[in-house]
Amino acid sequence: MDKIIIQIFEYYNYFGLLNIFLLFILLLAYSKNKRSLWYGLFILSIALDLFNYKGLYWLFNYSSNFTLPYLPWKVFSSLALFKLIVITYEIKNIVIKKVTRFLTTCFLVAFSYFIFKSYWILLGDLSTRDLYFYTDYLFPYIEYWVIKIVSVSVQIYVLAFGVLLVKKQSLNFTKDIYFLYVTLLVVTILSVLELLNNLHIEPNIIISYPEEFYLTIVTTLGLIISYRKLIGLDSQKHITKQNTVRIYKTDEDILLDVKEKLLKAMIELELYKNQKLQLKDLGKAVKTSESIVSEVLIGHLNTNFYDFINGYRVKEIIRLMGLEKYKGYKLMVLATESGFNSKTTFNTAFKKITGNTPSQYRRIHFQQKKTFV
């Protein structure tokens, strides 16, 4: 009975691996921006990691001339998630560049190491191949621990840094990032449990030794994040009814319509005053998806979510500065009244838009005016 269950899982994992590859191709065809591309690359890294266990491992055992049983795709998954977070929230600073370079370097070094090792063994004495891969021997035993620890460390680093990065901006994860984050979190937890287990027993004979429990969970997660993205993309096709006849709008018509509704909603509903405002809230206000709103902001308003919202908030602060009622109020009170919930964000946004700090602006445009009058 146990053998039958294991065999079912094996077939499921092979089926899932093939499906994830096919879904990645479809996502690639749908990709119209960098966010979709990095989402797709994350899915590809999941598929390639599964292929380590279901493809490269099998080839290693099938042919004595095969010397590449593993590639570090878990590290690339971490890089893909980090890039998606950075691109989605358009975070640009020196720290982000350094972290991106660090993650890219980790992946390239690990990838190059395995390729070099494969060719070095292939061009050498193939009869000694097992000395470089099976953990019964010292070199692969050390390599096993180094690769596993580095891989898990990078994953934990990205998970922790990603949360800090988003929370620092007083934001929440989008659905795309949330699903990928959970996927990487589960993969990391499973990897940590494997490491802890190997402290008590000997590690697997080879890095890509297939653990069916791990593969089944990762396969399921890969299918979920792939299908939900495709379904989400498909749901963006908007259909309107006029005189009981269905009229299919072009993409440009939809975007222009959303732009008009968005600008109207910002004024009439004063959405910017909501300190916890998110992209999805704008989508709800104009009855469309987050991705459509984001496309309107970038493609038609030449801005991003944060600059767009902060622009309205800064205008509101300037308006309040000119009212007699608010003459003696502290600037942070005006900022809170206008939707800001962080002094740092308020000061940074105000100076970016006006070229002056809030106190400088009030002194130049309001206090001096009062003096001359």
Looking at this protein, which amino acid is placed at residue 298? I
Domain boundary among 215, 234, 253: 234
This prediction has a pTM of 0.66
Domain boundary among 207, 234, 261: 234
**Beta-carbon count within 10 A of 329 CB:** 13
Looking at the structure, do residues 202 and 277 belong to the same domain, yes or no? no
Looking at the structure, do residues 163 and 296 belong to the same domain, yes or no? no
237-to-142, 232, 301, 337 alpha-carbon distances in Å? 53, 10, 21, 38
Looking at the structure, do residues 199 and 264 belong to the same domain, yes or no? no
Listed as ranges, residues in the chain with pLDDT below 70 are 1-2, 169-171, 232-252, 367-373
| Closest C-alpha among 289, 94, 268, 69 to residue 175 | 289
Query: CA 235 to CA 231: how far, in whole Å?
Result: 6
Burial of 129 (0-12, 13-18, 19+ CB in 10 A): middle
User: What's the domain count of the chain?
Assistant: 2
Q: Which domain holds residue 337?
A: 239-372
Looking at the structure, do residues 196 and 246 belong to the same domain, yes or no? no
Looking at the structure, do residues 155 and 55 belong to the same domain, yes or no? yes
CATH number at residue 8: 1.20.1070
> What is the pLDDT, as a whole number, of residue 147?
92
Query: CA 312 to CA 305: how far, in whole Å?
Result: 11
Tell me if 149 sits within 8 A of 69, measured CB to CB: no
Domain boundary among 184, 201, 234: 234
Looking at the structure, do residues 324 and 362 belong to the same domain, yes or no? yes
The residue assigned the tokens 């971490």 is 78
